A and B are shown apart, each in its own frame.
Chain A
């Protein structure tokens, strides 16, 4: 257990080091390795973010509320990509010849203590913070870089001090949502303001560890990493019954001590609400 904690506790700082080590190993691979074993080669990774639901059409949450968002602003911090498998992987990675070579380079496969996520080795990163209002559609995030190899999980971080396109919308918060929730004859116009302390993980950091990299791609070429967020999971457990009706047509800020606020805050701590994909042009 201690070994795992040390690994994860150091993982933020170790990200740069490991990635640097990986890039160095990539140079070694280029010099010494056979042509078909390319783990460790440097790749350029563009970054996109998109909301998979809740923007163009409403969704119904677990309490029967039909919800549509008009503002979904998120302050995005650094992103890291790892070769460690997320918990309860749909399938383990198939063995590949290059895995052996990667192991030789110190980029060996990570193992997860069952139920306990181990990030493994850093494979790529985006270090520049940004912000985005997802209701404006898919958006570019700052570009990243990485090394060739298996990408199985990722870390998404919330930037405590917003910067970028949605900075003004966020007004110092890490998340601002506005929307309409409707159930039978009830209509609630709501606004959610989350700060960094509302989305802390078990280590006290505003981040989501162990997000799934769909398909566990074997990244070998320059490409695009797309961050998919699911507003329907953020708001799935929110019960709006006790949220006051709007008196003037403006959204009602969810009180921080209310059940709806707690449910939404918990939604933003769900790693399953953020997944990653890799694509090539």
Chain B
């Protein structure tokens, strides 16, 4: 009896020592980062989703993604890819961006990425061509949206390039039915993370309100030369105060210096980045 009690104590001590040795990693795993533009970009945004009966079909939706960083709660960086890749989200399917191997198995709660203009190191991703990349470099664009809007017999085209870089930080999203900040690396496992691009945001009628609606009437009315193309220059000439309130509130919230539709849509272009589908990040200026 005494002997077994002594053995028990020995096992307990060993267990405690093992517990104290938590410095050892609990294994390693991978994180695969992909991106997808959903059906809204690949197929269309149907008229049923718009308040004013327009529908949108994109013919090109170029996004320069990169600057992916995975850090833990204390801010220690576990993996980082400083480069960028250009993809065309009209091209169907989920597109690979970068895979990080052999991360310590644990919760990496601080995950961020950027959408920013390309540089010399920007790689070609799925759907994008060398000509696309050159054009984006020339224009200094982080995002290019090209397509047509249709309402009955009326069609308006648009070709909009946006150059304002945006960092999406402290991302969180649904993983296996639970809201999860960042990524969760398990021993020998792989966490597949999708940076989801929401193309419909370009047509919201409010910069801040969760009740924002999809509309195109006000944008269409900016086509002052009636050539069928709504340009960013034309949008910049359309003052928000001149929009009929029945065509949308076009509220700007706390966004400063947004007084015309050009600035409005440019700010909306900074809201397209999401995490694991509907997951959220802080949209901010890159450091």
Contact = CB atoms under 8 A, between A and B. Distances in A.
B256 interface: yes
Contact of A112 (B242, B273, B283): B283
A113 B210 contact: yes
A91 B259 contact: no
B190 to A, nearest CB: 25
Contact of A115 (B73, B204, B211): B204
B259 A87 contact: no
Contacts of B255: 87-88, 271-272
A98 interface: no
B254 A117 contact: yes
A269 B251 CA distance: 8
B253 A87 contact: yes
Contacts of A27: none
A211 B287 CA distance: 22
Interface string B262-287: 00000110111110001011111101
B89 interface: no
Contact of A87 (B239, B241, B283): B283
A114 B209 contact: no
A105 interface: no
B282 A4 contact: no
Chain B CB within 10 A, most for which of A87, A237, A259:
A87
Interface in A77-114: 85-92, 94-95, 100, 109, 111-114
Given A85-B282, A271-B252, A114 B273 contact: yes
A262 B253 contact: no
Contacts of A91: 284-285, 287
B161 to A, nearest CB: 19
Contact of B210 (A90, A95, A116): A116
A202 B169 contact: no
A266 B282 contact: no
A236 B240 CA distance: 12
B212 interface: yes
Given A87-B254, A95-B110, A111 B73 contact: no
Contact of A116 (B270, B271, B272): B271
Chain A CB within 10 A, most for which of B242, B270, B280:
B280
A62 interface: yes
Given A116-B210, A209-B253, A210-B254, A95 B75 contact: yes
B259 A1 contact: no
Nearest to A269: B251
A117 B208 contact: yes
Interface string A115-154: 1111000000000000000000000000000000000010
A14 to B, nearest CB: 15
Interface residues on A, range: 35 or more
Chain B CB within 10 A, most for which of A100, A262, A270:
A270
A202 B251 contact: yes
Nearest to B164: A88
A266 B248 CA distance: 13
Nearest to A270: B252
A267 to B, nearest CB: 9
Contacts of B144: none
Contacts of A233: 256
Nearest to B204: A115
A269 B242 CA distance: 15
B237 interface: no
Nearest to B201: A115
Nearest to B268: A115
A5 interface: yes
B280 A114 contact: yes
Interface string B163-206: 00000111010000000000000000000000000000100101
Query: Ordered nearest first, which 4 A-B pairs have the shortest CB separation?
Result: A115-B271, A271-B254, A202-B209, A272-B256
13 contacts: A62-B259, A88-B285, A92-B170, A95-B110, A100-B73, A111-B280, A113-B280, A114-B270, A116-B208, A202-B209, A236-B259, A271-B253, A272-B257
Interface of B: 73-75, 110, 168-170, 172, 201, 204, 206-212, 239-242, 249, 251-257, 259, 267-268, 270-274, 278, 280-285, 287
Interface of A: 1, 4-5, 8, 62, 85-92, 94-95, 100, 109, 111-118, 153, 201-203, 208-212, 233, 236-237, 259, 262-263, 266, 269-272
